[in-house]
A and B are shown apart, each in its own frame.
Chain A
Amino acid sequence: MRRIFVPLFALLLAAPAISFAQGLDSLDIQFHGYATQSFLYTNVNNWNTTDSSSGSAAWTEAVVNLTSVPSPKLRVGVQGRYLLLGSTGNTISLDWAQADYKVNEKFGFRVGKVKTPTGLLNETQDIDPAHVWCLLPSSIYAISNRGSILAHFGGVTYGAVPIGEKGGRVDYRGYGGQRVLAATEALFLSLNDLGIGVPNGLTGPMYGGALRYHTPIPGLMVGASEDSEHVQGPITLATFSGTLYGSHFLQPSFFSQYDRKRLLVAGEYTRQALKNTLAFTNGPTIIAPRDQRDWYAMATYKVVNKLMAGTYYSSLMDLAEAQSTSRFQKDWAFSGRFDATPYLYLKAEEHLIDGTYIGFYTSSNPAGLQPRTKMTLLKAGVSF
């Protein structure tokens, strides 16, 4: 499917560029970007693949995008990203590349590599300038997993339907296509810890939908989404080779947000129940069940014009895991963001983490994992 959409997108992007009938101004070509540099420190346990217990600056991101609006209903664009996180990344990848046609307020569609509109924050979870936080709640938006759910090859339909004169508005999204998980995804680090390699990544069909009801109460939105995926791909274990068959799972999410003037309060709950099968030729077959119940509650407040503060509590529990500190992760975060100018911001964040389910790997912590971690993050970002 990627083979179909990439040339299609290139054609769509090139079409307005070679149109002699239109000047550059009427194409509304825009170029935006941002870059961030972070510093991490943990009192114990190295976070992800960084050397954070000694202090680490190995988290750098830079994003650029180019969009054009050749007609009021059509928008085409592409966005690339450089990410370095510990020993992972250090590459440039395609965030999205799409053509968006909005027929009217009630119906539009995007095709190409598109953001997957599931949950409250999935579409924006990698957009640092949009958030107060250095890290979003890891129970649902762990940075190590984000590459697996951020975008897909295929399409999204969207629209907004008003509910009478004063009944608010419902936004809907429906999507489908193919999930492509590259072999370099940090998601596979936990498998690598067990000696299992995923040399070609995983791919498979996926679909889902989301509804967001913007209630008549100003600033209050409630919503739900459902995501379905079915990925598979080759794996290795010592001298064995085989296939990982991801079970066909459904992941419901329920969320709400109140965003009014200086205050933002939000929360989300999701459940992920699946059974992956790792079948090795002439070797073992491993059934890997997962039954995750994840949620968070967050609040931010604009203290003064340039300063925002926030806190959240994030909880992840995998009931399919054996009783241990690697079965759960609970995280209190306290964050501040200072917008020095419209283009430059600074963030500081403290995490009190209980459990080691996500973001902590034995390969990064050969001496063993401690059950509790304090983590301090400092981040500077520029955006234009």
Chain B
Amino acid sequence: MRKQIFLSLALLAAAIAGSRAQAQVAVVANPSIKATQVNKADLRDVFTGASSSLAGTHATPVLLKSGPATSAFLSAYVGKTDAAFLASWRSLVFSGQASMPRSVDSDATVVQFVSSHPGAVGYIAENAPHEGVKVLAVK
């Protein structure tokens, strides 16, 4: 019985941790991206270099330099750790299959870049200001 309670608590904690990871970041896009909602697989494809379009619009990903928001985003939407994500982009860059996405220092810089570049899509801390960009719902 004690084992079952412990297991249930562990599962609950894992579920809460997972939902918190999803809730910590907001996915933001330039208003040129027509959709207000995107699916997780399409978002993952854009951020792993497998696709360069989102909801029918040419999409350019922009990254935050490593930190809690990046870890949360990669864990929730890409399914990779920071190091594995970086390694997969390096394999594309050094084999000539892609250019490295732009990487910036702060939420404000992400918002500034995304708002001024048609097709740009990025992520920021959930509570960060995001004037000039749209927040995409991820299903």
Contacts and interface: CB of A to CB of B under 8 A. Distances in A.
A75 B99 contact: yes
Contacts of A105: 51-53
Contacts of A77: 96, 99
A18 to B, nearest CB: 20
Contacts of B96: 65, 67, 77, 79, 95-96, 98, 100, 110, 114-115
Contact of B88 (A115, A130, A262, A305): A130
Interface string A25-61: 0001010101000000000000000000000000000
Interface stretch (B5-13, B23-31, B77-85, B124-132): B77-85
B51 A129 contact: no
Contacts of A169: 50
A123 B99 contact: no
A127 B91 contact: yes
Nearest to B81: A302
A287 B97 CA distance: 39
B79 A261 contact: yes
Contacts of B60: 72
A164 interface: no
B20 interface: no
Interface residues of A, number: 44
A2 interface: no
Contact of B99 (A30, A63, A79, A342): A30
Interface of B: 50-53, 58, 60, 66, 79-84, 86-88, 90-91, 93-100, 119
Interface of A: 28, 30, 32, 34, 63, 65, 67, 69, 72, 75, 77, 79, 95-96, 98, 100, 102, 104-105, 110, 114-115, 123-124, 127, 129-131, 160, 169, 171, 214, 218-219, 260-262, 302, 305-306, 308, 339, 342, 383
